[in-house]
Structure 1
Amino acid sequence: MPRFTDKTVIVTGAAGALGAGMVRRFAAEDARVVVGARRREQVTALLDELGTDRAVFAQLDVTSEQDWTAAIATAEAAFGPVSVLVNNAARAIVGTTMSLTPDEFREVIDTNLVGTFLGTRAAVPSMRRRGGGSIVNINSTAGIGTAAGLAAYGTSKWGIRGLTRISAKELGRDNIRVNGVHPGIIETPLAYDPATGELIVGIDDQPIPRLADVDEISSLVLFVASDDAGYSTGAEFVADGGYLLGPVPAAKP
């Protein structure tokens, strides 16, 4: 049975591989999806694939309050009040505390943490009109462990972790759940250093020594967003191939 019939879902960062994958999965389960991206041409093929009865575009720079106001208005006009918000848009700049410039640090914080804050603020009144809702913040193993060399990204994800738990406590009596999903390294461009083309974090010594597939992470997000996880709020759902467990010891000869 489809889990999102008659539900309005907003997915940010829909131009990326994970965002597009989640949009497709929500649409396949009968949701009406607002496809959030900075520019329409980034998601034209996705919109054409799904059709206007299933998906609409919202021009959404997640750091802009005006864009968020417009996105919620677009959602309500097309499909009705918002039931699900997936805060997925993300920015990563490789660099240490000492090598990053202040502007680079702010750019990552503004997209990842402030963008999540603004999205939550914008969506909650619509969810209240609906009678409740579900917010899923896409986090990272960098929001639970340490991420040397990703000082801004890791800091932003730790901030999202706190915001998720605080929002969950504040919004629970409104029948609005807020949870975090912490993927490991997914097979997307974000997994690679744009300067070298190498993986940002190694996977060879983790218990499941491979990258995550977009569809398996999307499956987890849909579960967390759905009523199947209706008693979970402020929770952290990890899908990292065992990365946070530490490296697998080398086999003895």
Structure 2
Amino acid sequence: MVRGRAGAGAHGTPQAHRRRRPRPRRGGYRVAREGDDGARGRSGGVTDGKALAGRSAIVTGGTRGIGLAIARLLAEDGASVVVSGRDAARVDAAAKEIETLGGAALGIVADQSKREDCERLVEAAKESFGRLDVLINNAGITRDQLLVRMKDDDWDQVMDTNLRGVFLMTRAGAKVMMRQKSGRIVNMTSTAGAMGNAGQANYSAAKAGVIGLTKSTARELAHWNIQVNAVAPGLIETDMTAGISEEAREGLLRQVPLKRMGGVREVAEVVRFLAGDGAAYVTGQIIHVNGGLYM
């Protein structure tokens, strides 16, 4: 089921949004030509001085942690932002928080592992804001366990959300972006996907799959002026790491040259760059944000 919230005072399903459809905004990314100093202009867009003015973005898993930090930065840069998650209260709170920054916000309750929810999420964004310029595939789960103790369900749930869900969202979003002939897709992978991690065979395999998916879709979608990249966080202060014991934390930090955990905004700033005009010549790349944990 997909529930939504569009702007102040507008509650209900995506169908309710269609009855109050805002005038579509002009935006997008122009095609940079050889010799350009960057794709700074917008294809017919207007700007109020903010880098992403006139553009719209979806952030899956955008209700807390890294996802919410990303949504906030994109909104600060002028984008209309759709946040999705499974918890209705958190979705609503995130949308309200983004609205306090002065941006248009839409909160959608959706399960990224379900094709119907992914398609409805993209359609709701397009109906509400007229286009889709930025897709951030951030939603993810963990079901950590040693390999020989891992249940089939632990494997399947992580693969369904963390890999299949990224595929489903990318496919749905790419169809809109191909018609626009522009777009940015940023997938959240992990250091674990590059180096592996004991007790995370499912998570590491899914995140490694996201890396392969990112590179393949970057090659496929370049023809339509769509850049696809991934960001690989390391040890970041989030809900996922909050339960780590002090002893375990100290052991982990001994492996990090910078000797500290990262903050969610430090990850979000990299995503902000990839969504902006300065990344017009960047595609198929995996950018690690890990304090040197993996080089």
- Tell me whether the two structures share a fold, i.e. TM-score over 0.5: yes
Whole-angstrom distance in 2 between the partners of 1:140 and 1:205: 16
Change (3 A) 1:234 1:85: same
Instruction: Confirm whether residue 87 of structure 1 aligns to residue 137 of structure 2.
Output: yes
Which structure 1 segments of 5+ residues have no match? 246-253
CA RMSD of aligned residues (A): 2.0
Whole-angstrom distance in 1 between the partners of 2:248 and 2:160: 26
Change (3 A) 1:234 1:39: same
Q: CA deviation at 1:38?
A: 1.3
- Offset from partner CA, 1:29-56 (integer Å, 9 cap, x none): 0000011111321132222223395111
Structure 2 counterpart SS, 1:43? helix
Q: Does the CA contact (< 8 Å) of 1:192 and 1:200 recur in 2?
A: no
**What residue number does 2:56 align with?**
8
User: What percentage of aligned pairs have identical amino acids?
Assistant: 34
**What residue number does 1:153 align with?**
203
Whole-angstrom distance in 1 between the partners of 2:234 and 2:125: 30
Change (3 A) 1:84 1:16: same
Instruction: Confirm whether residue 162 of structure 1 aligns to residue 212 of structure 2.
Output: yes
- Offset from partner CA, 1:149-176 (integer Å, 9 cap, x none): 1111001011101000011111110111
Structure 2 counterpart SS, 1:35? strand
**What residue number does 2:126 align with?**
76
**What residue number does 2:22 align with?**
none
Instruction: Confirm whether residue 237 of structure 1 aligns to residue 258 of structure 2.
Output: no
Bigger CA drift: 103-112 or 88-97? 88-97
**What residue number does 1:17 align with?**
65
Q: Does the CA contact (< 8 Å) of 2:219 and 2:284 recur in 1?
A: yes
Structure 1 counterpart SS, 2:148? coil
**Match for residue 37 of structure 1 among 85, 108, 113:** 85
Q: CA deviation at 1:186?
A: 0.8
Whole-angstrom distance in 2 between the partners of 1:2 and 1:236: 26
Structure 2 counterpart SS, 1:207? coil
Q: Does the CA contact (< 8 Å) of 1:145 and 1:244 recur in 2?
A: yes
Counterpart AA for 1:158 = A
- Offset from partner CA, 1:173-206 (integer Å, 9 cap, x none): 0111110101111100112557999549711332
- Offset from partner CA, 1:45-76 (integer Å, 9 cap, x none): 22222339511112220011111111111101
Change (3 A) 1:32 1:90: same
Instruction: Confirm whether residue 130 of structure 1 aligns to residue 180 of structure 2.
Output: yes
Question: Which runs of 4 or more aligned residues in structure 1 lie more than 6 Å from their structure 2 counterparts after TM superposition?
Answer: 194-197
- Normalised by the size of structure 2, how large is the TM-score? 0.78
Whole-angstrom distance in 1 between the partners of 2:95 and 2:64: 14
**What residue number does 1:249 align with?**
none
Whole-angstrom distance in 1 between the partners of 2:67 and 2:279: 21
Q: CA deviation at 1:20?
A: 0.8
- Offset from partner CA, 1:80-121 (integer Å, 9 cap, x none): 111000000011111122111111101101010001000001
